[in-house]
Structure 1
Amino acid sequence: MRTLNLRNVPDDVVRRLEKLAALQGTSVNSLAARELSNASRRADNPQLPAALPDLQVDIAGLVDDLADQRGMR
């Protein structure tokens, strides 16, 4: 296996990775390697996004509704 060093990872990302790793009882390195492995599989399936159905979701409306709901907290 090769070694990959990541630079300029935002502090909030590192904190969330540490939290996820702790919840799963694993190291940040193991968690990051697994997540990168899963994400890299998209390269093997370039046609996958084109095969997904268009659900005709109104993105602007969805964002507006979400903002409204967050304002109600």
Structure 2
Amino acid sequence: MGNNFAAVHKSLEGTVGNWNRLVNQAESRVVSRARRFRDLGAATGLDEIVELPQVAALPTLPSSAELKALPEAGED
């Protein structure tokens, strides 16, 4: 079970990192250009540009020794 906790934790960290990179790309490439079009008076037919929040909270691994992950073969 401890290994499952560690695997899910690692997967969640990766997912959060991917989300935050996507948000940064959208902000720097798409949203900035959309704002420029809006400021120039271009009619986009879209609602107001929404801010994309980054995910800042990360899950906590269990602290009890019984639920901690066992080292994989070859890891120490």
Q: Which band: TM-score by shorter chain?
A: under 0.3
Q: Write 1 or 2 for the structure with the bigger share of helix.
A: 1
Bigger relative contact order, structure 1 or 2, given CA contacts below 8 A and separation 6+? 2
Q: TM-score, normalised by structure 2?
A: 0.26
Asked which structure has the greater CA Rg, the reply is 2
